[in-house]
Homo-oligomer: A and B are copies of this chain.
Amino acid sequence: MKTYLECVPCFVSQALHASQLISDDPQKHKDVLQAVLQAASNMDFSITPPAMGQHIHRIIRRVMDNPDPYLAIKNQSNTVMLKLYPQLQAKVADSPDPFETALRLAIAGNIIDYAVNTKLNETDILQTIEAALHDELPPHALDQFRQAIDQAQNILYLADNAGEIILDRLLVEKLPLDKLTVAVRGKPVINDALIADAQAASIPELVEVIDNGSDAPGTILQSCSSSFRARFQQADLIIAKGQGNYETLSNIDKNIFYLFKVKCPVIARNAALTVGDLALQRKIPCANI
């Protein structure tokens, strides 16, 4: 998905909010803002939003002189979600359809996105989780998703954010573990999940976890390591969490399911959904159309 012109002021605003979130120094906020305006004025708008986000967050880390400015936020999100985990696991187990409940909770977890929601609090997360149990989820998409999992031999699950990855574990537990690999980002960017966050979710105890070698807040294959690209190529089903993976993989010819919370009007328009919706959408490889 290309960057829409509306994304640009939003990126400028996100950069300012990010700087305010991770530092109390007004001079740093101003430095980030000016550097991002300068960079944005020279950017190629035909790249995807996460490619633009990759550039902008490199600037933020450089100006802030901090290689992982969201580290404390990521740890805090993991801690909050781990505290909730036992009761959510019980909710899954006690529900009439544990797979569907786990899926709904994993999608709800995508609300923990500090690119969009810099003022997120625990109440917002709890409300999103509660609503996700009842929000509309197209039954045919759910059926297709179950069927795709049954048919797959090699599933690659692309995680998105810290905190969210704790809820991903609920869904991972319901997938065929012998066919599954979970991938995280390769380097810090926003609050996106790294190997340490997968470890916080104890996912390596269940399945192999790999990193993609990249600092993009999505999956830009050219920016990923060759070993990740090989694993991506080998997979016959990709489960792509989050808006960033949706935006970067929408033109890739592959059997992909996108799972995310719709958090911005541009994505909503692109996916024919409404802000706040749970998204479970299939991308069908061209060969099958």
Which A residues fall within an 8 A CB radius of B?
5-6, 8-10, 12-13, 16, 26, 29-30, 33-35, 37-38, 40-41, 45
Asked whether, in the complex, the Cβ of A16 is within 8 Å of the Cβ of B6, the reply is yes
A16–B266 Cα distance when bound, in Å, is 15
CB neighbours of A12 from chain B (8 A): 8-9, 12, 37
- List 14 contacting pairs A-B, 8 Å CB cutoff, sorted by A: A5-B26, A6-B16, A8-B16, A8-B33, A9-B9, A9-B12, A10-B13, A12-B37, A35-B41, A37-B38, A37-B40, A38-B38, A38-B41, A41-B41
Evaluate whether A30 and B16 lie within 8 angstroms (CB atoms) in the complex, with A8-B37, A37-B8, A40-B37 already known.
no
Residue of B whose beta carbon sits closest to that of A35:
B41
A5 contact from B8, B29, B41, Cβ within 8 A: B29
Going nearest first, the 6 A-B pairs with the smallest beta carbon separation are: A37-B41, A9-B13, A38-B41, A9-B12, A37-B40, A37-B37
Q: A22 → chain B, closest Cβ, in Å?
A: 15
Asked whether, in the complex, the Cβ of A45 is within 8 Å of the Cβ of B16, the reply is no
Asked whether, in the complex, the Cβ of B34 is within 8 Å of the Cβ of A41, the reply is yes
A136–B218 Cα distance when bound, in Å, is 48
Asked whether, in the complex, the Cβ of A30 is within 8 Å of the Cβ of B5, the reply is yes
Q: A53 → chain B, closest Cβ, in Å?
A: 15
A10–B35 Cα distance when bound, in Å, is 17
A146–B281 Cα distance when bound, in Å, is 63
A93–B105 Cα distance when bound, in Å, is 61
Residue of B whose beta carbon sits closest to that of A9:
B13
Q: A59 → chain B, closest Cβ, in Å?
A: 12
- Identify the interface centre among A30, A40, A45: most chain B CB within 10 Å of its CB: A40
Residue of B whose beta carbon sits closest to that of A11:
B9
Given contact pairs A8-B37, A30-B45, A34-B41, enumerate 7 new A-B contacts (beta carbons under 8 Å).
Answer: A5-B30, A8-B16, A8-B33, A9-B12, A9-B16, A10-B13, A12-B37
CB neighbours of A13 from chain B (8 A): 9-10, 13
Evaluate whether A5 and B16 lie within 8 angstroms (CB atoms) in the complex, with A41-B37, A41-B41 already known.
yes
